[in-house]
Amino acid sequence: MGVTLDLSRASATPIAPSKPNLAGMTRAELQAALVEAGVVRPEKAKMRASQIWRWLHHYGVTDFDRMSDVAKETRAAVAEAFTIARPEVVERQVSRDGTRKWLIRMAPGVEVETVYIPDVGRAGALCVSSQVGCTLNCTFCHTGTQALVRNLTAAEIVAQVQVARDDLDEWPSPKEDRRLSNIVFMGMGEPLYNLDNVAAAIDIIADNEGIAISRRRITVSTSGVVPELKALGERTQAMLAISLHATNDALRETLVPLNKKYPIAELMAAIKAYPQLSNAKRVTFEYVMLKGVNDSPADAKALVKLLAGVPAKINLIPFNPWPGSQYECSDWGTIEAFAAILNRAGYASPIRTPRGRDILAACGQLKSESEKLRASARRAAARAESPST
């Protein structure tokens, strides 16, 4: 489908003095902020914070005037000091397979992509970004070719869920039979380099009187930031996914350069110590299938050996190519042979079908193409403005 671009916004818009966004505050922070701003009396703060919380996170309102059980003067005072506005959705695309992708502008020059992947029945997973760009340069990942712009705030992470819920028409927060049933931190960026904001966002998203997506349905994917793994487990109780991609240090160093700092043995030890690991709460190992690089039967056997004793699931990701990438996706037969070895070792259906490739929403394709299109659209607009050059 066509890509819509609004060139009127391509030039820099003036930055409005931004008020703090209530949607990114945990319950405790919300309560404290209301008191500190002098808009709520301390003795009423807990009750007011609960009311506002429900409007924000259960009903998904974007207008203070809808908070009908909050006194009018209080509403006005809160609106004066804070915002609950959504960021701007610059682009929305829907794939033939039902995958949806939103390009969201958090601030001028700060844009992220969020992807909704429908699953069986009504359920589906939202793939959220934690940073704009990434510092880690994994050689098969398009996001890694882009410099880090900045960490996203908790409000900006929560906003991705709110935008998806708006579009899926899923307010007030349903108790069951949800379309947005799971959340994966597998978009742009390394979540463990932004753990404070990721942990706060998870506290907000998992709260029972709000968006209420349980921590068991929230997965954080990391390229292996070993010193942060324990804190991730303790602070979020989220499910863990590890981008492994290779079973020996020599190869993993070329794919995931962070392996030079935290080699496989250290990574595996930290994974085994991940809080609450059990057969009911397994670690997902992601393994991107690169033709002739890591896809031989010997690699599959080495993977089985490496994961022995770890409660694990394996996710084989067919490589999604991008312009200029130095790898090719393994042949389908090779992927199936690799999966068969894992199957025999007891790992069920490990191949992840690529979704949303037609709108560049698949793993590792995020952000870049829209940036490229937008840059070319900007050049076209510049030419139109100065036709003599």
Q: Cα torsion for 311, 123, 351, 370, to the nearest 10°?
A: -120
Q: Which stretch binds ligand SF4 (CB under 6 A): 133-141, 159-167, 263-271, 301-309?
A: 133-141
363 binds ligand SAH (CB under 6 A): yes
Q: How far is the CB of 63 from ligand SAH (least distance, A)?
A: 34
Among 70, 132, 163, 186, binds ligand SAH (CB under 6 A): 186
Q: Rank residues 328 and 336 by Cβ distance to ligand SAH and give the closer one.
A: 328
Q: Which stretch binds ligand SAH (CB under 6 A): 22-30, 140-148, 302-310, 336-344?
A: 140-148
Distances, alpha carbon 216 to alpha carbons 195, 233, 240, in Å = 18, 12, 10
156 binds ligand SAH (CB under 6 A): no
Among 39, 40, 115, 141, binds ligand SAH (CB under 6 A): 141
- How does DSSP classify residue 179? S
Do 219 and 185 contact (CB within 8 A), yes or no? yes
Q: Rank residues 39 and 363 by Cβ distance to ligand SAH and give the closer one.
A: 363
CA atoms within 13 A on the CB side of 185: 34
Q: Which stretch binds ligand SF4 (CB under 6 A): 5-13, 82-90, 141-149, 173-181?
A: 141-149
Q: How far is the CB of 116 from ligand SAH (least distance, A)?
A: 15
84/82 Cα distance (integer angstroms):
7
141 binds ligand SF4 (CB under 6 A): yes
Among 52, 115, 136, 159, binds ligand SF4 (CB under 6 A): 136
Angle of CA points 365, 369, 372, to nearest 5°: 150
Among 223, 236, 259, 294, binds ligand SAH (CB under 6 A): 223
CA atoms within 13 A on the CB side of 217: 17
Residue nearest to ligand SF4 (CB): 144
- How does DSSP classify residue 23? G
Site string for ligand SF4, 160-199 (x = CB under 6 A): -----------------------------xx---------
Residue nearest to ligand SAH (CB): 364
Q: Rank residues 64 and 140 by Cβ distance to ligand SF4 and give the closer one.
A: 140
Q: Which positions are annotated as active-site residues?
A: 113, 363
Q: Is the peptide bond before 387 cis (omega within 30 degrees of 0)?
A: no
Q: Rank residues 95 and 320 by Cβ distance to ligand SAH and give the closer one.
A: 320
228 binds ligand SAH (CB under 6 A): no
Neighbours of 240 (CB within 10 A): 22
Which residues contact residue 50 at a Cβ distance below 8 angstroms, ignoring those fewer than 6 apart?
Answer: 27, 209
Q: Show contacts with ligand SAH in window 313-352 (CB under 6 A).
A: 317, 319-320
Chain centroid offset of residue 20 CA: 22
- Please give the single-letter amino acid code of residue 222: T
190 binds ligand SAH (CB under 6 A): yes
Q: Show contacts with ligand SAH in window 241-260 (CB under 6 A).
A: 243
Residue that has been written with the tokens 């409007």 in this structure: 55
341 sits in the region (left: phi over 0; alpha: psi -120 to 50; else beta) called alpha
Among 33, 56, 138, 289, binds ligand SF4 (CB under 6 A): 138
Residue that has been written with the tokens 């398009």 in this structure: 142
Q: Which stretch binds ligand SAH (CB under 6 A): 79-87, 152-160, 196-204, 217-225?
A: 217-225
Q: Rank residues 75 and 252 by Cβ distance to ligand SAH and give the closer one.
A: 252
285 binds ligand SAH (CB under 6 A): no
DSSP string, 237-248: --EEEEE---SS
Burial of residue 110, with CB atoms counted within 10 A of its CB: 0-12 exposed, 13-18 middle, 19 or more buried: middle
- How does DSSP classify residue 209? T
Burial of residue 116, with CB atoms counted within 10 A of its CB: 0-12 exposed, 13-18 middle, 19 or more buried: buried
Q: Rank residues 74 and 330 by Cβ distance to ligand SAH and give the closer one.
A: 330
User: Binding residues for ligand SF4, per CB under 6 A?
Assistant: 134, 136-138, 141, 143-144, 189-190, 223, 243
